[in-house]
Amino acid sequence: MQAFWIQLMANFFKENEKKKVNKKSTKSNIITIDKLDLNGCGVGRYQKKPIFVTGSLPNERVEIRIIEQKNKYILAKLLNVTKASEHRVVAQCQHFTLCGGCDLQHLDYAEQLLFKQNKVTELLARSGLSRELIDQLPWQKPINSSQWNYRRKARIGVQFDKNSQAIIGFRQKATNQLVGIKSCPVLVKPACDIFPLLKALLAKLTIKKSIGHIEIISAETADKGEHLTLVVRQIRPINEHDRQLWQEYAEKYAWTVQFIENTKGQDNSDVHSGISRAELTYKLPDDIQIQFSHTDFIQINQPVNLAMIEQALVWLMPESKDQVLDLFCGLGNFSLPLAKKVAKVVGVEGIQVMVDKARANAKSNQLDNCQFYQADLNIPWLSSSWAKNNFTKVLLDPARAGAEQAVAQVSQLNIGTILYVSCDPATLARDSQILLEKGYKIAKIGLIDMFSQTKHVETMVLFQR
């Protein structure tokens, strides 16, 4: 019986604590925002707790309504800005407050870059970099391009409301529901205004609810030059009426349209069909052409990608006798431009299909001093045959998970120069600490603003022993 009452009282207090923690407020409050967190969300103090207010900026007085209370922090909704920051600007996108694609459109662009640099600095400090080294970081001029109309690849979601009307757009913030988009100013032209066209087209389809999503890619093909390719994911096979309708729109707007139907072939793979099929390409320095398919990873900001490669070549200072190891090489985005400058490049990638395409890209560009290998770089690879070369320089361009195991092994190769291209400052900070502990120093560091108007940060760091 005593155990029963103890459990009952425990449940009572647990339930009361739960109610207290999740309590919502119907009234509004005025608070001051002190800073932005690492995700670009405004942070203030309320009832001795940090309070997070999406859409607010430092030094602003804002009217908020609490939407959720936790033990250690509070979430609130921004109702009104009573005293605006001098760095606040009018968001260019009409969907900014709902769409989850951009985070910083309300912040002046120069301040966006400062926020991103401070984000990298803070994460490096958290990883163990001393205040003295933080203050002495050799920051270089950031790589950037146009703030708008830069994104050349995007996946557009398709949902249908209760009236079977298509909702075409991107996910809302923190949900799986779509925002119906009319125009997206970060997409390249003419992709930014494609949404009304797709909505009109889908309204005419006979099996429109079979569409899962539509991927758009701005790239070159041999027959059309640079134009839009649309990849339509079908959960059921397309019929002839709908195929003809897509054909009409494709001809009118100069699209290439491909379909991926959720019908398994004999090898259990998706069946690909289309109005026309063409190899997609994009350009690199020295007239290099990279061929890719819609499933391949490419850098979505072409002007920034070109500038990033050029900077990598300048920072690495490649010489004709150099042998360069390119880890996480992908399609050869860095490998092929490097091969034009050095004696040999060895590219290593975890996915065999990407390795095959990198080899094909080297061959089509008549580069015979590139070798590409498949390997899981997160497990020991120093005994691999390709690792036995006398490398003089290393380039790493990992995914967001970073290159912890690869960096630890690279540090054992006694190579004086390492260039790290990062798309996640948290994993960059972790991996940098490994190299710093092995006797390397940061010779140069710079932002790469691949994703203007968002919280996402890319960084290039040159390490020298």
pLDDT tens-digit profile of 140-160? 999 999 999 999 999 999 999
| Average pLDDT over every residue of 165-182 | 92
Residue 267 pLDDT > 50, yes or no? Answer: no
Q: Are 225 and 289 in contact (CB under 8 A)?
A: no
Confidence of residue 395 (pLDDT cuts 50, 70, 90): very high
Active-site residues, by number, are 423
Residue 80 pLDDT > 90, yes or no? Answer: yes
Provide the b/e sequence for 149-188 (b: ≥16 CB within 10 Å).
Answer: bbbbbbebbbbeeeeeebbbbbebeeeeebbbbeebbbbb
Confidence of residue 1 (pLDDT cuts 50, 70, 90): very low
Classify residue 107 by its DSSP letter: B
**Mean pLDDT, the chain, as a whole number?**
92
The whole-number pLDDT of residue 223 equals 75
Distance CA 30, CA 65 (A): 9
Confidence of residue 183 (pLDDT cuts 50, 70, 90): very high
Confidence of residue 88 (pLDDT cuts 50, 70, 90): very high
Classify residue 188 by its DSSP letter: P
Cross-strand pairs, 66: 76
**Residue 455, SS3?**
coil
- Which of 19-33, 194-208, 451-465 shows the lowest per-residue confidence on average (mean pLDDT)? 19-33
Residue 8 pLDDT > 70, yes or no? Answer: no
The whole-number pLDDT of residue 224 equals 77
The whole-number pLDDT of residue 163 equals 87
Residue 14 pLDDT > 70, yes or no? Answer: no
| Average pLDDT over every residue of 293-317 | 97
Confidence of residue 27 (pLDDT cuts 50, 70, 90): confident
Token couple for 93: 């996108």
Confidence of residue 24 (pLDDT cuts 50, 70, 90): low
33-53 pLDDT, tens digit each: 999 999 999 999 999 999 999
- Which of 189-198, 264-273, 450-459 shows the lowest per-residue confidence on average (mean pLDDT)? 264-273
370-385 pLDDT, tens digit each: 999 999 999 999 999 9
The whole-number pLDDT of residue 207 equals 87
417-434 pLDDT, tens digit each: 999 999 999 999 999 999
| Average pLDDT over every residue of 165-185 | 93
**Cα angle at 18 between 174 and 97, to 5 degrees?**
20
Q: Which of 91, 69, 72, 86 is nearest to 19 (CA)?
A: 69
The whole-number pLDDT of residue 174 equals 79
The whole-number pLDDT of residue 225 equals 82
| Average pLDDT over every residue of 237-248 | 94
| Average pLDDT over every residue of 330-346 | 98
The whole-number pLDDT of residue 264 equals 53
Q: Percent of the chain, pLDDT > 90?
A: 84
